[in-house]
Each structure stands twice: as structure tokens, then as C-alpha cells.
Amino acid sequence: EPEVTQTPSHQVTQMGQEVILRCVPISNHLYFYWYRQILGQKVEFLVSFYNNEISEKSEIFDDQFSVERPDGSNFTLKIRSTKLEDSAMYFCASRIGQASSPQHFGDGTRLSIL
């Protein structure tokens, strides 16, 4: 069964550094998402992406964050200057079409900011 893959599984970065989290969504999916889960807290929506543009973003997704689909397969989340509070598990998800179709999640990237 096709799945969403995320790399790396764990990223350790110094505060202030840029980090790029990578995702390969399921190949025929059209909608892409990033969520994050701070340890012990709920999963929070960051951004949704469709037709090569952001369709919705949360207040968490400020100017330090950006997303890109540089080619036909990858979907990346960039944090320009990381803060300690960016430490979290980041999940990528994709869905095929209309909003009633379920989102499929990757296994996540654990981001640790030192």
C-alpha cells in the first residue's frame, strides 16, 4: 500500500539554524499538509497546500516557516531560524481529493533544537 514517507526521522539542530524537513506524499494525492505535535500535547495544524500554493495556515505558521513542492514528488517544510520551542514531532500528510477523503500521515520527523 502506498505511504507517505518523511526524512529524516530525527533531526538535531542548533538554535538559530535553518532546517528543512522532507516529505514524499502518496503519488496521486493533490492536497498536502504539515502538522506538529509538541511532546505531551495535541497534534496541531500548521499549513495546507494545494495547486502549488498555501490554501490555509495557522497562526503558528509565521514568517519563519515556508513550504515548497520543488518537484513532482517532494513536499518540504523549512524553518528559517529555529527556536527552542520549535522542538516537536512534525507530521506530513496528504489526501487524494475532496475534503471527505482521509489524510494519510507519515511517521514524522522528530526535531530537537539545542
Partner 1 sequence: AQSVTQPDIHITVSEGASLELRCNYSYGATPYLFWYVQSPGQGLQLLLKYFSGDTLVQGIKGFEAEFKRSQSSFNLRKPSVHWSDAAEYFCAAGSSNTGKLIFGQGTTLQVKP
Interface positions with partner 1 (CB under 8 A):
4, 31, 33, 35, 41-45, 48, 50, 55-56, 91, 93, 95, 99-100, 102-108
Name which of 55 and 74 has its Cβ closer to partner 1.
Answer: 55
Per the structure block, which three cell numbers stand in for 92? Answer: 506530513
For residues 69 and 104, which CB has a smaller minimum distance to partner 1 in the complex?
104
Output the nine-digit C-alpha cell for 2: 502506498
Smallest gap from Cβ 6 to partner 1, in A, equals 8
Residue 25 C-beta: closest distance to partner 1, Å: 13
Please spell the DSSP secondary structure of 83-97, one letter per residue. -GGG-EEEEEEEE-S
Q: 15 vs 6, 80, 91, 109, 111, CA distance in Å? A: 22, 10, 21, 17, 11
**Shortest distance in whole angstroms from residue 74 CB to partner 1:** 18
Pick between residue 79 and residue 108 the one whose CB is nearest to partner 1: 108
Q: Please state the closest distance from residue 99 (CB atom) to partner 1, in A.
A: 4
E strands present in 1-114 = 5-7, 10-13, 19-24, 31-37, 43-50, 53-57, 65-68, 75-79, 88-95, 104-105, 109-113
**14 vs 100, which CB is nearer to partner 1?**
100
